[in-house]
Amino acid sequence: MFKQDKWGNTYFFIDHDFNYDQHQEGPNLAPGGSYLKIARCLNFWQQSGLKNFSLQVEYNGGITRSYPINNAWLFGVDYFIHSKDYKNTLNLKALYKTIRKKTSDVPMQLTAVWAMNDLFGIKGLKFNGFADFWWEDHTCFKSNGEAADRSTIFITEPQVWYNVGQHIGVDNLSLGTEIELSNNFGSTYGFKCRPCLGVTWNF
- pLDDT string in tens for the chain (203-residue length): 889 899 999 999 999 887 665 556 666 667 778 999 999 999 999 999 999 999 999 999 998 877 789 999 999 999 999 999 999 999 999 999 999 999 999 999 999 999 999 999 999 999 999 999 999 999 999 999 999 999 999 999 999 999 999 999 999 999 999 999 999 998 899 999 999 999 999 88
24 is a domain residue: no
d(CA 3, CA 12): 9
Predicted TM-score of the model (pTM): 0.90
52 is a domain residue: yes
Q: Per-residue b/e over 9-31, b at no fewer than 16 CB within 10 Å?
A: bebeeeeeeeeeebeeeeeeeeb
CA distances from 81 to 42, 121, 185 (A): 16, 20, 28
40 is a domain residue: yes
9 is a domain residue: yes
- Residue 53's domain comprises 2-18+32-201
- Our count of domains for the chain comes to 1
148 strand-pairing partners:
140
27 is a domain residue: no
Evaluate whether 185 touches 192 at the Cβ level (below 8 Å).
yes
**H or E segment and range at residue 64:** strand 53-64
127 is a domain residue: yes
Provide the CATH number for the domain around residue 101. Answer: 2.40.230.20
117 is a domain residue: yes
181 is a domain residue: yes
d(CA 55, CA 65): 34
